């Protein structure tokens, strides 16, 4: 019962954030890049930082935030991580690091997860990012661009994202 209420609230919260989105800065060039990643699906974070470097960004200009279904018992030094437990029944996030990440005005935010994901979708909707990129079967309302590539093939992912960033004049 509680889970259903939480998921319903997440949907309502996401819908509200979608209507409030400011798209006036969508065409700015790339200076800051953010990634929202589902750890169950992908965990090669260094590859994402290297990709930022390939785009001409310094490591400090590339930020990464991950989602795990439940936190492991093993202590972790990683602060940029959120679990489903940190979303309350009204769909609000109770994680200070996550709120800071979502309030940062990224020029491009990449939702690095497959298909529809309620928790990451809610985070994408709340993000103040100017341009949002998603993949394959993600919720199209959340993103400005959906790319059909196999995310398990990093070279294909990099080539497609670079191609579209050049088309949209975000990089040279």
Number of residues written out for the chain = 172
Domain that includes residue 63, residue range: 2-167
Look at residue 125 and tell me if it is in a domain: yes
Checking if the pLDDT of 166 tops 90, the result is yes
Higher pLDDT, 72 or 148: 148
Provide the CB-side half-sphere exposure for 3 (13 A, CA).
2
Number of domains in the chain: 1
Q: What is the pLDDT of residue 15?
A: 72
Look at residue 17 and tell me if it is in a domain: yes
Q: What is the pLDDT of residue 50?
A: 95
DSSP H helical segments within 44-153, as ranges? 45-54, 96-103, 118-126
Look at residue 172 and tell me if it is in a domain: no
On whether the CB atoms of residues 113 and 135 are closer than 8 A, the answer is: yes
Question: Could you tell me the CATH number of the domain that includes residue 54?
Answer: 3.40.50
Look at residue 61 and tell me if it is in a domain: yes
Q: pLDDT by residue (tens digit) across 104-162?
A: 999 999 999 888 888 898 899 999 999 999 988 888 889 999 999 988 888 999 999 99
What residues are paired with 81 via a beta bridge?
A: 66
Q: What is the pLDDT of residue 16?
A: 72
Total-model pTM: 0.86
Q: What percent of the chain clears pLDDT 70, i.e. is strictly above it?
A: 90
Which residue in 60, 55, 36, 1 sits closest to 114, CA to CA?
36
């Amino acid at each position: 019962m509680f889970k259903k209420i939480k998921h319903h609230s997440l949907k309502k919260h996401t819908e509200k954030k979608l209507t409030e989105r400011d798209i006036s800065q969508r065409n700015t060039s790339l200076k800051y890049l953010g990634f929202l990643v589902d750890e169950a699906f992908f965990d090669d974070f260094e590859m994402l930082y290297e990709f930022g470097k390939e785009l001409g960004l310094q490591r400090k200009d590339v930020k990464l935030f991950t989602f795990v279904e439940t936190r492991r018992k093993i202590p972790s030094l990683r602060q940029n991580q959120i679990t489903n437990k940190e979303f309350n029944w009204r769909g609000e996030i109770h994680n200070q690091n996550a709120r800071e990440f979502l309030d940062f005005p990224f020029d491009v935010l990449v939702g690095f997860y497959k298909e529809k994901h309620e928790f990451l979708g809610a985070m994408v909707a709340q993000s103040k990012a100017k341009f949002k990129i998603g993949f394959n079967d993600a919720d199209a309302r959340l993103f400005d661009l959906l790319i059909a590539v196999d995310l398990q093939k990093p070279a294909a992912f990099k080539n497609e994202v670079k191609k579209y960033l050049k088309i949209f004049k975000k990089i040279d």
